[in-house]
Each structure stands twice: as structure tokens, then as C-alpha cells.
């Protein structure tokens, strides 16, 4: 079976030659009447993807694709850290270089990015920090994406290294819902599962913000969220957000919630991906059902003004947009 390092595109070369090779690569002279690629090399940030040992080659290919598409909008110096068992005790690090210029609508609409992949021996991580520092674009912010890396290793071996990064992202659908709570310093970490559901939160938020906060929480007995197995982790992030919104509604309207979490259950059988229900002790009701694959959702119920049913647009963000949301915007 191919190794993770081998499936990541790029030219393999000794780590000592990566920087000089990259510099030469951009030195190319323009063809008459065109512009040299160097003019379009305008990294705005560094992005480190740190793969854990459990990463599969298929996952690595998908992650590479996401990074590449992300870099079309946000030209970056991308560094992929890839645990690679070393066959030679003298060669604990191996390098790979990939670059790409993405051409948009016009000649001037071109962006270039670079991907440096570092294969490192999992038993010799102490060299990693120095090697990565040599490869980073100086003075630009560095973001960090961890994938299948145990929290315990982040807390110990990579602590200093990661502390230099501006924002860190992980995916609770991959790393587990308990990942965040296992981190010693979770403050700068953002969950891609939460970011991915931005359109769903926005749809729910836009509709429910049309109701008075007191109407939403008065006589509310319970709130439950059923979600498909596929989106169970995202469901956890969504339920947390909904509970916080309800708590705030209660706080501003002088009510008390009779529950301390929005229950999340895995939906049985064929149904939507998310089914959120508010149960009231009077005859009111509120239900939000969303099927991600169709990109639509239904919000129905009966509130003060009577019954209603809206068909709404609701999907999830693409992987590259999810990454951008988590890195730049997600609060």
C-alpha cells in the first residue's frame, strides 16, 4: 500500500535543497509579453497541516486537494508534516516540493502557492520545529491544522511549536468530540465541524431571530436534535450553539431553561441529516429539518401568530470554505 508521504504530490528532494530549489523555481524569466510567475507569488500566510500517524493515503489526498483549493483564494506557503517511518537512521527527515500557479479569468488574475511536505520520523520529532521554521515565510501569520494527532502529543511534544501559530484548527468529526477538552491550552483551537455548518446556523439564526427571545423560551420544555450518523459530530457542535442561543434568550427575557443541554441523538432510518425540535408545554411547536444533500431545509411549527412552514436553503460549506471560515472568521 502506498504511504501517505508518497501520495502527496511533489518532487522529492533532500530537505537541505528545498529552499534553494524553491527560490530558483521562481526566478524564471517571463516569456516576451507575459509576466514572470514571481510577480504572482504573493503568499499572505503560512499554513501547516500536521498529519497524525493514523492518516490514510486517501485522506491525505483529499486534504491536499482541500489545501490546494484553499490556496486559490488565499495564496499560502503550505507545509505538510507527514509521519514517515525512516528506513535509514541517518535520514530522519525527507522533503517534497510542489508549486502551482492558478490562472483565473485574466492574465493578471493569477495566484501561486507552494506546498512543502516534510516526512519525519515519528520517534524523532525534536527536529521538526527548527526545520519548519526554516521553511516558513517570515513575518506572515502561521495557522495550524491538526489531523489525527493525539491531543496528548500536542500538549507535550508540539506545545512550543504550536504556540507560535495564530490559530489552530481540528475536526471533531475526525479527532473526536472530546479532543478539545483534552487540550491543555484549547483557547486558540477551532473546530471544522462547527465551521462547516455555518449555512445551517445562519438559516436557523435568520429565521429564529425573527421571533422575540421570550417567545422562543417561554414554556419551552425541551430541545432535541436528531442527526444522521454521518453528521453526528457536526450535530454536537450545532447543539452546543443552539443551547447557548436559547440560554441567551432566557437571560435577556428573564426566563429559566428547564434543561442544561440540547440533546443529540442519532436518527434512526431514512430521514434528514438534522432534525431540531423545540417542545413547548402549550400548543406551540418549532421544528427545523435539513437534508444536506438536497441543500434545502424546512422550518415549520406553530407559534404566537399561528402555523407556518418555510422551505429554506441550507447546506454545508465546501472543505476549503470550511477551512477559511475556521481560520479567519469563526468565533
| Site residues, other proteins (CB under 8 A) | 39-42, 44, 72-75, 104-106, 108-112, 198-199, 201-210, 213, 216, 241, 244-249, 251-252, 295, 299, 305-306, 308, 310, 312-313, 329-331
**Closer residue to other proteins (CB): 102 or 127:** 102
How far apart are alpha carbons 81 and 79 in whole angstroms? 6
Cβ of residue 299: shortest distance to other proteins, in angstroms? 8
**Closer residue to other proteins (CB): 57 or 205:** 205
Cβ of residue 302: shortest distance to other proteins, in angstroms? 11
The phi and psi torsions of 187 (rounded to 5 degrees) equal -55, -45
**Closer residue to other proteins (CB): 163 or 244:** 244
Q: Which three cell numbers stand for residue 225?
A: 436534535
Cβ of residue 123: shortest distance to other proteins, in angstroms? 39
**Closer residue to other proteins (CB): 58 or 248:** 248
3-class DSSP state for residue 250?
helix
How far apart are alpha carbons 188 and 164 in whole angstroms? 11
Cβ of residue 42: shortest distance to other proteins, in angstroms? 4
**Closer residue to other proteins (CB): 250 or 267:** 250
Strand order of the β-sheet with 93-103 is: 11-13, 93-103, 110-120, 76-83, 45-51, 142-147, 167-170, 189-191
Q: How far is CA 223 from the centre of its chain?
A: 27
Report the candidate in 200, 207, 48 with the shortest Cα–Cα distance to residue 114: 48
Cβ of residue 137: shortest distance to other proteins, in angstroms? 12
Cβ of residue 230: shortest distance to other proteins, in angstroms? 21
How far apart are alpha carbons 142 and 79 in whole angstroms? 10
Q: Do residues 60 and 147 touch, judged by C-beta distance below 8 A?
A: no
Cβ of residue 44: shortest distance to other proteins, in angstroms? 5
Cβ of residue 318: shortest distance to other proteins, in angstroms? 12
**Closer residue to other proteins (CB): 83 or 199:** 199
Cα within 13 Å of Cα(63), Cβ side:
31
Within 8 A by CB and 6+ apart from 234, the residues are 173, 193, 194, 196, 197, 227, 316
**Closer residue to other proteins (CB): 86 or 330:** 330
**Closer residue to other proteins (CB): 203 or 228:** 203
The phi and psi torsions of 244 (rounded to 5 degrees) equal -60, -40
How far apart are alpha carbons 290 and 199 in whole angstroms? 11
**Cα dihedral across residues 148, 151, 157, 162: positive or negative:** positive
The phi and psi torsions of 156 (rounded to 5 degrees) equal -110, -75
Amino acid at each position: 500500500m502506498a504511504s501517505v508521504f508518497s501520495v502527496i504530490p511533489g518532487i522529492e528532494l533532500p530537505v537541505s535543497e528545498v529552499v534553494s530549489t524553491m527560490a530558483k523555481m521562481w526566478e524564471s524569466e517571463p516569456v516576451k509579453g507575459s509576466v514572470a510567475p514571481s510577480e504572482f507569488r504573493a503568499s499572505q500566510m503560512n499554513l501547516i497541516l500536521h498529519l497524525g500517524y493514523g492518516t490514510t493515503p486517501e485522506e491525505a489526498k483529499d486534504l491536499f486537494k482541500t489545501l490546494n483549493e484553499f490556496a486559490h483564494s488565499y495564496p499560502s506557503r503550505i507545509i505538510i508534516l507527514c509521519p514517515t517511518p525512516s528506513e535509514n537512521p541517518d535520514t530522519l527527515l525527507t522533503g517534497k516540493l510542489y508549486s502551482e500557479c492558478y490562472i483565473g479569468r485574466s492574465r493578471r488574475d493569477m495566484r501561486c502557492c507552494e506546498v512543502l511536505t516534510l516526512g519525519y520520523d515519528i520517534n524523532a520529532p525534536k527536529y521538526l520545529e527548527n526545520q519548519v521554521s526554516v521553511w516558513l515565510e517570515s513575518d506572515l501569520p502561521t495557522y495550524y491544522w491538526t489531523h489525527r494527532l493525539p491531543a496528548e502529543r500536542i500538549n507535550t511534544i508540539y506545545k512550543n511549536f504550536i504556540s507560535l501559530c495564530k490559530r489552530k484548527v481540528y475536526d471533531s468529526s475526525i479527532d473526536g468530540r472530546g479532543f478539545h477538552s483534552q487540550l491543555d491550552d484549547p483557547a486558540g483551537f477551532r473546530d471544522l465541524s462547527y465551521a462547516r455548518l455555518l449555512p445551517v446556523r445562519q438559516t436557523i439564526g435568520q429565521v429564529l431571530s425573527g421571533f422575540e427571545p421570550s417567545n422562543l423560551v417561554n414554556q419551552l420544555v425541551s430541545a432535541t436534535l436528531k442527526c444522521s450518523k454521518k453528521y453526528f459530530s457536526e450535530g454536537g457542535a450545532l447543539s452546543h450553539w443552539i443551547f447557548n442561543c436559547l440560554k441567551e434568550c432566557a437571560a435577556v427575557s428573564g426566563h429559566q431553561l428547564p434543561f442544561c443541554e440540547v440533546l443529540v441523538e442519532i436518527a434512526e432510518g431514512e430521514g434528514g441529516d438534522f432534525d431540531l425540535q423545540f417542545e413547548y408545554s402549550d400548543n406551540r411547536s418549532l421544528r427545523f429539518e435539513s437534508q444536506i444533500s438536497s441543500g434545502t431545509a424546512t422550518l415549520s411549527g406553530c407559534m404566537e401568530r399561528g402555523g407556518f412552514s418555510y422551505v429554506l436553503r441550507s447546506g454545508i460549506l465546501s472543505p476549503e470554505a470550511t477551512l477559511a471560515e475556521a481560520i479567519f472568521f469563526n468565533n
